[in-house]
Amino acid sequence: MGSCIICGIPVEGGYVCDSHQEDVIFEFRGNHASQLIDNRFYLGTVDGYADFGVFIDIAPGVTGLLHRSELDRRLESLSWEPGDTVCVRVNNVRDNGNIDLGKSIRQSESEFRGKLILDGDEEKLPESQKKTETADEDDAVDGDAGDETPSDGDGASDDDPSDEADPEPTEPVTVRTPESDGTERASERTGEPPSDTAVSAKRERTTNGGGAVAVAESPADSTGERDVVDETDVTDAVDYAETRVEQLADRVGDRVRLDGEIVSVRQTGGPTVFELRDETGVIDCAAFVEAGVRAYPDIELGDIVRLDGEVEKRRGELQVETDNLVALEDEECDAVTTRLADALRDRARPDSLTPIGDHEAVAALEAPLLDVAEAIRRAILESRPVVIRHPATADGYVAGAAIEHAVLPLVREEHARSDAEYHYIVRRPLDDAIYGMNAATNDATRMLQDRDRHDEKLPLFCFVGTASTTDSADGLGLLGVYGAERIVLDALAADSDVDDVAEQVVTADATTVNLTTGALTATLAAALNTDVSEEMAHLPAVSYWENTPAAYTAAAEEASYDAEQVTNLREAVALEAYYQSYQDKRELITDLLFEDAGSLAAHISEQFREKLGTELATAQANLTSAERDGVAVSLLDTEQFTHRYDFPPTSLLLDALHRAEREGERFVTVGIGMDELYLRSTQPLDIRAVAADAAEAAPEAAITARGIREGRIEFLAGKREAAQNAVLDAVAAQFA
């Protein structure tokens, strides 16, 4: 039993009482996240930044996420650099091993009242730990000296002639021979000494990150003395088996040779970690010079290399400990490049595309959708992040989540790192249905920071249900300046100038009606990953608020989603899309759309109906009815009669209001605010033409279309009445 280092009271199995857990900083020397204790503060090392936070190494192979929501400032304003030592709080260790961290106000050991070491499940005092380490070092020195003590032929020491048994080694002995193929570790595991004919070799790191050297020793003679024979590069002394990444799981402990491309370089507080990709997968390869120092500084992102090293399993993840790393040139480089390109093409292209519900409009887009699927799969195989942008609506979330759900297993399969799914697939909802310069500037800043800080490749941007209109051309163009690939997917016809600022534009034509982006991308997702294709069958039905095609209703029912469940899902996603709309809410959306047995969606949809019902009743009580050239108009002053900063958003409220109030075939619902209005109509309206005609009639109001998808038009607040009249006249003219 120990005593608390703060107050001195007895503590069972440790050195800090329950009352002083937060007064102590811990140095973690364990090897698994499950050994961490929640609500304690730990020393960590900054590993790197992501869009959503900072990754912190608590110990080698034990990494947690400090989410940006835990910070007291913007993520971009943090001054931490990779390799910096920081103090963090462990908030929670999840069942899957993910670690949720919080930021500590105290950022130095001196600010805490004490320090302890958590060595696995055991608490230790730093002083006793140092004594233990010193004793271990003394034992090791004694053991080394013992190796040099002359002995007779049967192994008995001259100092102890009565001992006829073989002496026990004072530390594990590693036997390395060129032919051993990794079996030298047997002596480390058993602790038994090598045979008299074995050759002992010690690997030491060079100071320039150029691999390892082998010091070969001659067999012991009858006096027990050994002479150093030679010092050579380990690659000359050891045979490395040419291997592919997909085979490494069966080669733990073996020395292997890999040819491939460097797709990422990360400098941690310890080793430099190179991600190497060959035609079968990606693997982390650690190269160590000294803590925080860049190994192999001449090796850059995109280099074709040959890497020799030993396959290890650290904290449950495969890794290669690098012995030697060189860039290939000329014929060797060309051969590997060609091999990678051929394999990439074969693996990236899906075999076929089968539309869910056999929707003709989707089937007509089979060829371009396959091209999009190939581009996304290629990005994953090339270790390029995939960034999904979509509006914060039910249809937008269904569309974005469908692609994310299909891609996540592919990322996990391709990358050995447990946190790869947070690096290589990112979904960022948009507050606005337009991809404007604000969002584009944010994306450009993040991708350039990731490129410069972490040597990440520029991402593939996939826009679903957004960016298909002229309003988004400038934002798309900014990404293009830096060479980022852009794909636009939409159920509505795209403006012609979008083709000039995106590599692929896949949208329905102007004659297509009753198609949602969710229906389009659900079929795309099924082609992206056939293993999850059955999980996509209900998504098209979820994306429709009304007039759901019978084929999609049937597909949902066949997947065991009845009409009530589909409605609950739609409403639940719509409510969650509104709150924290700029965050992906990956786990919550996944639970709703793919893993919910019904209770979660039912609970949230009940809140949806309650909130929408209250707001709808208020709106109906304050509607103004009018008629303009035979067109019935219901007008709501959203500035006066809605709660603008609470659910539902104006666009969703207007949709519900229009469904509830419409009468006949010549009916328009208008929601007008301080400087914007929304239009809903029983007949298709050309919003851009309405805005243009209204602007001509009231030039002083500066009327312009701003989001034709939402039926949104903007004007000057001081000319509100003139803008309203001009817009209504333009709408009536389109009905004529």
Structural domains of the chain sorted by starting position, each given as residue range(s) with its CATH number in brackets = 2-130 (2.40.50.140), 241-341 (2.40.50.140), 349-535 (3.40.50), 622-735 (3.10.310)
Whether the link from the prior residue into 648 is cis, omega within 30° of 0, is yes
Locate 422 and state its tokens: 């947070």
pTM of the model: 0.65
Average pLDDT of the chain to the nearest whole number: 83
pLDDT band at 1; cut points 50, 70, 90: low
pLDDT tens, 654-693? 999 999 988 888 999 999 999 999 999 999 899 999 999 9
pLDDT at 233 over 70: no
CA distance 182 to 253: 5
What 3-state DSSP class applies to 718? Answer: helix
Mean pLDDT of 144-159: 41
pLDDT tens, 497-544? 999 999 999 998 888 888 999 999 999 999 999 999 999 999 999 999
Would you state the torsion angle of the CA atoms of residues 496, 500, 504, 510, taken in this order, to the nearest 10 degrees? 0
Residue 120 has what pLDDT?
Answer: 86
Beta strand segments in 552-711, E:
624-628, 631-637, 667-672, 676-681, 704-705
Sequence-distant (6+) residues with CB within 8 A of 37 are 90, 118
CA angle 564–565–567, rounded 5-degree value = 65
More confident residue, 671 or 189: 671
Amino acid at 336: V
Residue 44 has what pLDDT?
Answer: 94
pLDDT band at 598; cut points 50, 70, 90: low
- The greatest distance separating any two alpha carbons of the chain, rounded to the nearest whole angstrom, comes to 119
Instruction: Find, among 497, 455, 464, the residue nearest to 480 by Cα.
Output: 497
pLDDT tens, 78-124? 888 888 999 999 999 987 788 999 988 888 888 888 899 999 888 89
pLDDT at 161 over 50: no
301 CA to centre of own chain: 20
Name the phi and psi angles at 12, rounded to 5.
Answer: -75, 115
